[in-house]
């Protein structure tokens, strides 16, 4: 089965099951074809940079994850006028130049890593016992009180797990800031710069920075695994 066929799985599921698949369906397909697509990826910046630059009808699984298995406005960054109109006219914010800037890099990270937090939070919400909310409503709690004092404390582990997972992915990201970050150089790009300088002194600096980065990643991975093992009570 080729990548295009795999990308059409969410669309087929929508027709067969009679309902619109959620984000998990498309993102699962994205994870399945992630490895096989690397060999045939025509985008020099890799998978992390290619998706937002593709047309809306491109069968990329990451797009399908965002659009719930259906084509959607995934070519947003390919149309600068549309992006500027949305930012300036709809949001009423000053004109933003997102090319090779830190704000543009933040927007890209937001687009690319939002599913990590969304999916973990969604999984936690689906595991909640709805009878607790009903009991609170019966005793006189309004919707805001139920959300603040019951739902949010119960889904806090899921939000924390998604936040840690997102931080780890963004912290170790290399291709996105290298290609679109401009003068901004996070730790991963700084390590690459030190190692590629062909200077022994800078090799030592790059190695030391790599050790620091590895320690931070292991620390946050330990936090993430501990949160996953914590039962929802």
Closest by Cα among 67, 48, 43, 41 to 170:
48
Q: 1 or 86: which carries more pLDDT confidence?
A: 86
Please give the pLDDT value at position 199.
65
Please give the pLDDT value at position 228.
67
Please give the pLDDT value at position 97.
60
State the pTM of this model.
Answer: 0.47
Please give the pLDDT value at position 229.
72
Please give the pLDDT value at position 84.
58
Q: 177 or 141: which carries more pLDDT confidence?
A: 141
Task: Give me the mean pLDDT over the 163-180 stretch.
Answer: 77
Distance CA 122, CA 24 (A): 9
Q: What angle do CA 35, 40, 42 make, to 5 degrees?
A: 120
Please give the pLDDT value at position 100.
67
Tokens coding 97: 């130049």
Q: Are 32 and 5 in contact (CB under 8 A)?
A: no
Encode pLDDT of 186-230 as tens digits. Answer: 777 777 776 666 666 666 776 777 788 778 878 877 877 777 676
Distance CA 12, CA 18 (A): 10
Tokens coding 91: 């949001």
Encode pLDDT of 101-153 as tens digits. Answer: 777 777 777 877 888 788 888 888 888 888 888 888 888 888 888 888 888 88
160 pLDDT band (50/70/90 cuts)?
confident
Domains and CATH numbers, the chain: 1-96 (no CATH), 98-233 (1.10.3720.10)
231 pLDDT band (50/70/90 cuts)?
low
Sign of CA dihedral 226, 228, 231, 233: positive
Please give the pLDDT value at position 12.
40
Please give the pLDDT value at position 170.
79
- The DSSP annotation for 34-81 comes to HHHHHTT---TT-TTTSGGGS-TT---HHHHHHTTTS--S--GGG-HH
Encode pLDDT of 35-94 as tens digits. Answer: 333 333 333 333 333 344 444 444 444 444 444 444 444 444 445 555 556 656 666 556
């Amino acid at each position: 089965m080729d990548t295009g066929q795999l990308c059409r799985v969410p669309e087929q599921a929508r027709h067969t099951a009679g309902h619109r698949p959620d984000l998990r369906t498309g993102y699962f397909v994205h994870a399945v074809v992630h490895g096989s697509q690397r060999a045939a990826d025509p985008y020099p910046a890799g998978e992390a940079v290619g998706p937002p630059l593709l047309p809306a009808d491109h069968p990329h699984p990451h797009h399908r994850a965002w659009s719930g298995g259906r084509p959607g406005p995934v070519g947003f960054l390919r149309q600068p006028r549309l992006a500027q109109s949305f930012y300036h006219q709809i949001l009423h914010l000053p004109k933003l130049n997102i090319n090779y800037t830190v704000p543009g890099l933040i927007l890209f990270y937001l687009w690319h890593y939002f599913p990590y937090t969304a999916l973990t939070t969604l999984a936690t919400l689906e595991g909640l016992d709805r009878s607790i909310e009903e009991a609170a409503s019966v005793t006189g709690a309004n919707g805001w009180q139920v959300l603040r004092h019951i739902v949010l404390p119960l889904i806090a582990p899921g939000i924390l797990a998604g936040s840690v997972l997102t931080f780890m992915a963004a912290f170790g990201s290399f291709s996105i800031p290298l290609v679109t970050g401009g003068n901004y150089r996070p730790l991963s790009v700084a390590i690459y710069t030190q190692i590629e300088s062909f200077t022994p002194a800078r090799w030592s600096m790059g190695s030391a920075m790599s050790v620091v980065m590895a320690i931070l990643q292991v620390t946050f991975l330990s936090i993430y695994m501990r949160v996953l093992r914590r039962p929802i009570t």
